Chains A and B, each alone.
Chain A
Amino acid sequence: MYQITCPHCGPRAQTEFTYERTTDSVVDPAGDAQTAMQALYTRANPMGLDDEIWRHTYGCRAWMVLTRHRVSHEIHAVKAIGPEALP
């Protein structure tokens, strides 16, 4: 069980978080259909680092991007996203 450092709450148990999707699979509803389906249906799925969108669902409910290693489970970076993180 990982420990994820929520940008708003600090280090918390993984059980409080849910994985949503990788950042490159975000579908832009205003974009064209072909690009949308490519984003939805293909993944790099690397045996290494990927940028993933997670949510502190059973905590502050905020969203963040984890740069996480898919084999070692090491979390290299956590970045807040969402309205709170807007400039």
Chain B
Amino acid sequence: MSGPTRVPSGEETIEFTFDGTSYHARQGDTLAAALLANGIGLVGRSFKYHRPRGIMTAGIEEPNALVTVGTGGRAEPNTRATDVFVYPGMVAKSQNRWPSLSFDVASIFGLAAPALGAGFYYKTFFGPAKHWLRYEGFIRRAAGLGNAPTEPDPDNFSQSAGFCDVLVVGAGPAGLKAALDAAEAGKRVWLVEQDAVPGGSLLRDPDPAIDPGAMVERIEALGGKVFLRTTASGYWDHNFLTLSQRLVEPGAVPPHGFAQRLWHVRAGRVVLATGLIERPVPFANNDHPGVMLSQAVRSYVRRWGVVPGKRVVIATNNDDAYLTATALVEAGAEVVALLDARASGPAAPAGVTVYHDARPASVSGRKHALRKVTAVIGGSEQSFDADLIAVSGGFVPVSHLHMQAGGKLEWNVEAQAFIPGSNPQVCETVGSALAPPPAPAVAPAGKAKKSFVDFQNDVSLADIDLAWQEGYRSVEHLKRYTTLGMATDQGKTSNMVALSRLAEKQGVTVPEAGLTTFRPPFTPVTMGLLAGAGARNAGAHVRRIPLHALHEAHDPIWQPLGYWFRPRAYPVNGETLQQAALREARTVRTAAGLSDVSTLGKFEVSGPDAAKLLELVCATTVGKLAVGRGRYTFMCREDGFVNDDGTVWRLAENRYLLTSSTGGADRMAHFMSYVRNSLRPELKCSVVNVQEYYGGIALAGPKARGILAALTGAEPPRHMGYAPGMLAGVPVHVLAASYSGERAFEIHVEASHAAAVWQAIEAATRAEGGAPYGLEAMELLRIEKGHVVVGGEVDGRSTPQDLGLGGMLNKAGGFIGAAGLTRPALSDPNRNNLVGLVSLDGPIPEGGMLIQRAGQSPQGHVTAAARRIIEGGAIALALLQGGHHRHGEELIVTSPTRGEKARVRVTSPHFYDPAGERYRD
């Protein structure tokens, strides 16, 4: 028997399954430790060649041992076995193998490896793109790692903001000390640690003088916060960091419904105590189960009591691996050889034979462990029977966060490592990351082809050499051509090995060869966590109108409009949307209807300079408006195109109300603020956004005036007049504005009183044979009247002239957009102009294209289609090239995507009461 073992102690009380078989683990075991303890060395398959892979590390840098943990919607694919702690009932599965882990059909890719080197796919699979799509199907199925869950995620993820004076990353000896020092100095301290227990390297190499548990207690007693299972994953501008905190282990059921928490933290100072990652050693078959990093071996022995091998070869270029020899000997394993690439080293434990100038060249093995290690010692080869090789190729300081923060690196020749240097943010690195043990460069002894560098992506030294040979020589080209460092471990174990090879090829030092950029995240972050509560609503809150509940009682069809929801129609007796809308519109044309217009943009502009401000904002004249009068207006962007439209009312000498469209209300609010505060701060006026202060009700139809007169006990203002009034005991503003083409009023009322007013108007309206109407009826009404809508005819590309509004422009100029309008292309006679269309046959497809004959490029499009409300027959509004001068022309509206067509005649857009007679009493 050989391979990993653990002496049973009776503490193996946690049951879990791996690939359907039950095993037992001890409290505190990572899945990797538990698998090794159960003698399991083969854990996964590599990405490209499906080579058998085991556990190489004991930390987050693990490239090989990826498993899916959890079931159903909680399953987390690609979980590193070294970064998940076993819990009762945990279900883990191996990935990227079929039909089973030990017999994987796709491992035949390995046989074809000589033809499938770096970038092979760029050189073959030619032919039409459709052919590639077919080959790609095979490649895609072979690639990928685990499977994404197909069921919805049952858990929530929370997001919180935090602030602290000092944020310490890493609870190893240096981090604990930094955090305790800061806490004792009275600072608000946060200490974050990705492991489940504090200690860092102390868990592997205990120091009796340091008690991590006691230090954590002390920090907390001083008011500091210690976050375990929390990773500082991103370091952004101005000392802003994102932390991802696991509240439960992957796949586990969270007791309070939250699986993880994302912290957005602004820190006064950041201390990075992130330590070192060990470098693997390239030699042939160095990816086999049974090849493990030296410190990882020590961790398994000391922290978890698991001995990953019985007969062990150690290969190193530094002193640290000698400690592994000691740990193994203490644990009863046999260290059959310690291969030191250097000419001399420290004393080895008794009974361990040290070979100097010795490098591993190849290994071979069986399923869960090695069988033989072959080394080059001096100039000659020697083989050892061994089930494990513990390797150390030196150390890489964990400088990811330092680099994300914009820090510089310094090259340390003795350690062959980049060490964190200066940092532009308030950030320092402490601890072992600053002082990696000396470890000289060592030339690989094995065959390049099977000497893996990036284990997960199957990138070997030979692939690096091929990329170099083909001219992919910058470090970024190398990375992109070979996919080196792009696997889920993000090159944590491979980058420096590859860089050394590149430097060797170039004949330059490693820093001259360059370095790829470090970007967030440090370790992969769950998407659901980044989405947070937004995973349920796309981060889009629902905006509710004040009368929402009242409408709800009528069970309307709701219409989303931005974040708002508005009633689209109020069907009765099983009406369809179209039937309901037509009935409602007819009611407005023949009796009266009421509608909720609360979402309109509304701005109260007051002060002696109010008119001056409005004459900047509005492209029409405002100054001449009499008190108690209003008018239609529109606003241009600075480039001259129409931005929004609405009405402007003079409520009092120096007090105006400006309304604008629902869709553009937020944009208009920002624009009004810009003009008033930034562009014209000297004006004596105030602009108050009263959009949500008022609820708005439109009352329209031939009976509207009578209804309103009865309700207010006063003669309503004539068309485009304003009057304050009382309705249902509530003060209201009555604006005699019409969108429908009927005599109509907008009644604006303080939102909390809107319900009473609505109910009074509704009752009175129904008594007169009227009814509420929704947005769809409003569309029918306004299309027939030829009124434009923002987002429809006002499409951000239309000028006032295009829309037939040119005559209303303020002749004196000076308004925003006047300059833009002088540009020649804005008065091109062939621009798209607003026209009406009357169908000569069937319905007109909305959005359809206007052409003269089939096969022609479109000359315009239908912006809105409807039917005549009383008379019947299809009509539409459209934007047509040179349309102002094409009334009477016959065209075709075509919609190839819907297979619809209509013959139409171009007309004026004003189908209904063009003279405005219905506004008169």
Contact = CB atoms under 8 A, between A and B. Distances in A.
B240 A1 contact: yes
B159 to A, nearest CB: 12
A9 interface: no
A49 interface: no
Interface in B211-255: 236-240
Contact of B670 (A18, A31, A40, A62): A18
Instruction: Pick the 4 closest A-B CB pairs, nearest first.
Output: A36-B819, A82-B677, A33-B819, A3-B238
A55 B673 contact: yes
Nearest to B615: A29
B820 interface: yes
Interface string A51-64: 00101010001110
Nearest to A74: B424
25 contacts: A1-B240, A1-B264, A2-B240, A3-B238, A13-B240, A13-B266, A26-B678, A27-B816, A29-B818, A32-B819, A33-B820, A33-B822, A36-B820, A37-B820, A37-B823, A40-B639, A55-B678, A57-B670, A62-B677, A63-B677, A72-B424, A82-B681, A83-B677, A83-B682, A85-B681
B657 to A, nearest CB: 20
Interface string B671-711: 00110011101100000000000000000000000000000
Interface string A14-51: 10001010000011011111001100100000000000
B815 interface: yes
Interface string B627-642: 0000000000011000
Nearest to A25: B638
Contacts of A62: 677
A72 to B, nearest CB: 7
A81 B238 contact: no
B529 to A, nearest CB: 17
Interface string B613-627: 000100000000000
Given A37-B819, A37-B820, A37-B823, A2 B238 contact: yes
Contacts of B815: 29
Given A1-B264, A20-B678, 9 more contacts: A29-B814, A36-B638, A37-B820, A37-B823, A55-B674, A62-B677, A63-B674, A72-B424, A86-B682
Given A3-B238, A18-B670, A29-B814, A53 B678 contact: yes
Contacts of A86: 681-682
Interface of B: 236-240, 264, 266, 406, 424, 616, 638-639, 670, 673-674, 677-679, 681-682, 814-816, 818-820, 822-823
A64 to B, nearest CB: 9
A73 interface: yes
Given A20-B678, A63-B678, A82-B677, A27 B238 contact: no
A31 B236 contact: no
Contacts of B681: 81-83, 85-86
A72 B425 CA distance: 11
A86 B822 CA distance: 33
Nearest to B685: A83
B436 to A, nearest CB: 29
Interface string A61-87: 111000000001100000001110110
Given A1-B237, A29-B616, A40 B820 contact: yes
Query: How many interface residues does chain A have, given as a range?
Result: 20 to 34
Contacts of B406: 72
A37 B637 CA distance: 12
Given A36-B820, A37-B819, A63-B677, A3 B616 contact: no
Contacts of B820: 33, 36-37, 40
A34 B47 CA distance: 60
Interface of A: 1-3, 13-14, 18, 20, 26-27, 29-33, 36-37, 40, 53, 55, 57, 61-63, 72-73, 81-83, 85-86
B242 to A, nearest CB: 9
A60 to B, nearest CB: 11
A15 to B, nearest CB: 9
Contacts of A83: 677, 681-682
A1 B236 CA distance: 6
A47 to B, nearest CB: 16
Contacts of A72: 406, 424
Contacts of B822: 33
A3 B266 contact: yes
Nearest to B817: A29
Nearest to B238: A3
B237 A2 contact: yes
B669 to A, nearest CB: 9
A53 to B, nearest CB: 6
Contacts of B682: 83, 86
Contacts of A85: 681
A30 B815 CA distance: 8
Nearest to A18: B670
A36 B424 CA distance: 39
A86 B616 CA distance: 20
Contacts of B674: 20, 55, 63
Contacts of B264: 1
A26 B679 contact: yes
Nearest to A23: B678
B262 to A, nearest CB: 13
Contact of B819 (A3, A13, A29, A81): A29
A1 B238 contact: yes
Contacts of B638: 27, 36, 40
A82 to B, nearest CB: 4
A82 B616 contact: no
B678 A82 contact: yes
A32 B240 CA distance: 45
